[in-house]
């Protein structure tokens, strides 16, 4: 018997056959491997500008009450979100980040062999969940650095997809579609295909990027998070908005007491602090400009972004960009890069503080020089 | 088309067929229904004595850093747990509470129709996960208010069970087996059946209750939590200890960035505060005695407990105990009760503060009187 399989536990055929892949290697893992902390943590699209001070206060106040399980229905947060979005609480489920909700959604919908459409090089954690339930991933190339929604819909029709994953704005390129354009294409979506609209970065996007569809529209499930603009990635709070009858299905399988109690309180406080959100948006806009400036200063170009990160085109192929990334990491600057060509000609830099971006500016010329030497 | 099914999303047959059951109704839900907060929250086996002050400090300090994702490998906590237990870090996986880990484990092991053995009336969240993957639950009656391990093993052999769930100490009765007795029965466990040893309450149990098996024993996976003795139910931190090759399987399906960052820091601090654990154990022992005293004062008997709760025998059938529970809840005392006869002759009271138990003492005579009037 192989040493790599448990000696007594009988795994499902599906799990036994899964590869031991991990969607992302975290920055702490990299820091332990390199034996030193990063100078700039601008690789995971976290919000270095932090959460609202009100959220921090709420988290601190909740600490002594952490002996209590969190509210199993996330009642207060869910109702506040419903008011904010102008929908009913029954249209919303709160979960353990978008990652957790994507896992539940895939479990609800995908049997082995079911077709799922996504963009080639889009969010790997979604793909991880689809593979984990033996869905058949159908990948559509980006076009002009954007997810190609008409082609995605066309592929969904061809293969009879149950799910179509579409992030707007997109990750890892930061590009976007106007919401009205997306809404205008929904009638083309084949019946029996649910559009999984990942709006993790929507708060950073220009007015008009959010897709104007009713919460009750049965064709779309919308995913949002407190991990990005609200600066609470470590809290694990996401939510899904959709048709009541679809949202109700999560109740059959979700981990009812899975939400951290303090995280619920923190998210509620963050939601109520519109001023902080405005402040973060402004800082992110400045940082995007600064990243573009640093890129230009080094003869590189930045892809216009509607997110809190910028894809910087290193001007060569994936191997060149990989060497640039390696050079930056070696210099203490944590960044990531797209996985798939031609997007992998870029490195992906999250919006940082002035100090973070100064570290980038300092490290990039040397990393580029080395990378070009091959 | 039924209004109860999504109009566009095609669910798996399994999920479409699941009932909309929820393992537990949380106290906040009950408070909203009754329109008033509980005076005593002693129904969910939370630790009213709270977390270690060091854990509270760690949670507070982590609040401003919540913009960072948690370490995807829970490295520091996992290594501290390994040192504490005298095992390798590769024998441990940290997850989103025992509930989250049970969900992963069932997903790893159970295909539709696979047999799973548990005690009739034991932890419903485990049953929820088994049903959620269409496992076939085989239930064995309690004997003398204890889980009947020989009968459980016998049933596992008869039905070819992949998993045998066994909580020691038990919930909801609070009874226990000596660890050496359990270890002595492991050779009877049929090959290809994994013992899921839930030790959520082990810190409250007498010396010698923890089952003396090696972490590398492929027949057992051990589950522990920070929700009970460590007073951090709202943080969602549990861990599983077992054979390396089995623990490695979790990496294929778990939500790698699912752990709350502050919760990891808090759990680490809690683990290092043995004094607090000793303090909580002493308070729990006092509270158990006090619950037994209150029971006796009302002519009722308490089942001896190795946990932070006490099953109080109301001296009649399930209907009587249900009426006692309803009367307590109406008087602002949140308690729960076993679901299955004959255990359902009891109500289950979590160890409370002096004030909590004073509220119990005040409410119980009236609740009993009303219950006996039928």
Query: Is pLDDT at B83 greater than 90 in this prediction?
Result: yes
**CATH 3.90.1150.10, chain A: domain bounds:** 25-49+275-373
**CATH 3.90.1150.10, chain B: domain bounds:** 24-50+275-373
CB atoms A66 and B234 under 8 Å: yes
Q: What is the pLDDT of residue B1?
A: 37
Interface test with B, best of A28, A222, A234 (most B CBs within 10 A): A234
Q: What is the pLDDT of residue B273?
A: 98
% pLDDT > 90, chain B: 96
What Å distances lie between residue A341 and A120, A125, B1, B128, CA to CA? Answer: 9, 19, 44, 43
% pLDDT > 90, chain A: 96
Which of the four pLDDT bands, split at 50, 70 and 90, describes residue A79? very high
Q: How many CB pairs under 8 A join A and B?
A: 302
Contacts of B287 in chain A (CB under 8 A): none
Q: Which of B357, B354, B343, B372 is nearest to B294 (CA)?
A: B357
CB atoms B258 and A236 under 8 Å: yes
Q: How many CA atoms lie within 13 A of B217 on its CB side?
A: 19
Fold assignment, B24-50+275-373: 3.90.1150
Interface test with A, best of B2, B3, B10 (most A CBs within 10 A): B10
**CATH 3.40.640.10, chain B: domain bounds:** 53-272
% pLDDT > 70, chain A: 99
Query: Is pLDDT at A3 greater than 50 in this prediction?
Result: no
Query: Is pLDDT at A230 greater than 70 in this prediction?
Result: yes
Q: Would you say how long chain B is, in residues?
A: 374
| Phi-psi region at A259: left, alpha or beta (left = phi > 0; alpha = psi -120 to 50) | beta
Dump pLDDT digits (tens) for A93-127. Answer: 999 999 999 999 999 999 999 999 999 999 999 99
Mean pLDDT over all residues of chain B? 96
Closest chain A residue by Cα to residue B105: A11
Q: Of residues A5 and A156, which shows the higher confidence score?
A: A156
Mean pLDDT over all residues of chain A? 96
Interface test with A, best of B23, B60, B66 (most A CBs within 10 A): B66
Dump pLDDT digits (tens) for B116-130. Answer: 999 999 999 999 999
CA–CA separation, B216 vs B222, rounded Å?
11
CB atoms A73 and B251 under 8 Å: no
CB atoms B66 and A194 under 8 Å: no
CB atoms A9 and B266 under 8 Å: no
**Could you say which of 3.40.47.10, 3.90.1150.10, 3.40.50.300, 3.40.390.10 is the CATH number of the domain covering A25-49+275-373?**
3.90.1150.10
CB atoms A68 and B233 under 8 Å: yes
Mind telling me how many Å the CA of B246 is from chain A's nearest CA?
5
Of A253, A257, A263, the CB nearest to B260: A263
Closest chain A residue by Cα to residue B226: A67
In contact, A274 and A285? CB cutoff 8 Å: no
Mind telling me how many Å the CA of A316 is from chain B's nearest CA?
31
Question: ipTM value of the model?
Answer: 0.97
Q: Residue A221's beta-bridge partner residues?
A: A196
CB atoms B96 and A97 under 8 Å: no
Tell me the two tokens of residue B174: 């609070």
CA–CA separation, A197 vs A126, rounded Å?
12
CB atoms B192 and A56 under 8 Å: no
Contacts of A221 in chain B (CB under 8 A): 9
CB atoms A12 and B49 under 8 Å: no
Which of the four pLDDT bands, split at 50, 70 and 90, describes residue B2? very low
Q: What is the pLDDT of residue A2?
A: 43
CA–CA separation, B300 vs B315, rounded Å?
7
Dump pLDDT digits (tens) for A9-29. Answer: 999 999 999 998 787 899 999
Query: Is pLDDT at A1 greater than 80 in this prediction?
Result: no
Fold assignment, B53-272: 3.40.640
Q: What is the pLDDT of residue B263?
A: 98
Query: Is pLDDT at A5 greater than 90 in this prediction?
Result: no
Contacts of B233 in chain A (CB under 8 A): 66-69, 261
Q: Which of A43, A73, A44 is nearest to A227 (CA)?
A: A44
Contacts of B103 in chain A (CB under 8 A): 255
């Amino acid at each position: 018997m192989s040493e790599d399989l448990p000696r007594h536990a009988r795994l499902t055929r599906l799990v036994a056959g899964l590869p031991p892949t991990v969607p992302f290697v975290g920055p702490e893992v990299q820091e332990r491997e390199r034996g030193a902390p990063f100078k700039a943590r601008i690789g995971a699209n976290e919000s270095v500008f932090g959460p609202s001070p009100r959220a921090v206060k709420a988290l601190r106040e909740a600490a002594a009450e952490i002996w209590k399980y969190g509210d199993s229905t996330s009642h207060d947060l869910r109702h506040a979100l419903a008011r904010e979005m102008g929908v009913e609480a029954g249209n919303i489920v709160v979960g353990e980040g978008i990652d957790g909700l994507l896992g539940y959604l895939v479990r609800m919908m995908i049997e082995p062999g079911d077709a799922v459409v996504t963009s080639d090089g889009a969010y790997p954690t979604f793909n991880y969940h689809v593979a984990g339930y033996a869905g058949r991933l159908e990948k559509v190339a980006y076009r002009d650095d954007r997810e190609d929604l008409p082609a995605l819909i066309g592929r969904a029709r061809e293969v009879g997809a149950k799910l179509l994953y579409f992030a707007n704005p997109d990750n890892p390129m930061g590009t976007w579609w106007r919401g009205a354009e997306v809404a205008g294409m929904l009638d083309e979506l084949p019946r029996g295909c649910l559009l999984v609209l990942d709006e993790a970065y929507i708060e950073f996007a220009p007015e008009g990027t959010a897709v104007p569809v009713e919460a009750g529209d049965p064709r779309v499930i919308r995913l949002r998070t407190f991990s990005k603009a609200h600066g609470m990635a470590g809290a694990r709070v996401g939510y899904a908005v959709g048709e009541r009858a679809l949202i109700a299905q999560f109740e059959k399988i979700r981990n009812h007491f899975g939400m951290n109690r303090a995280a619920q309180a923190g998210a509620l406080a963050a939601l109520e602090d519109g001023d902080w959100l405005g402040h973060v948006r402004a800082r992110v806009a400045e940082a995007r400009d600064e990243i573009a400036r640093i890129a230009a200063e080094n003869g590189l170009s930045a892809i216009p972004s509607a997110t809190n990160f910028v894809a910087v085109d290193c001007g060569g192929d994936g191997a060149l960009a990989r060497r640039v990334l390696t050079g930056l990491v070696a210099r203490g600057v944590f960044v990531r890069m797209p996985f798939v060509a031609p997007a992998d000609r870029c490195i992906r830099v999250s919006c940082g503080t002035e100090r973070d971006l100064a570290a980038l500016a300092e490290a990039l010329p040397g990393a580029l020089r080395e990378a070009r030497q091959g």
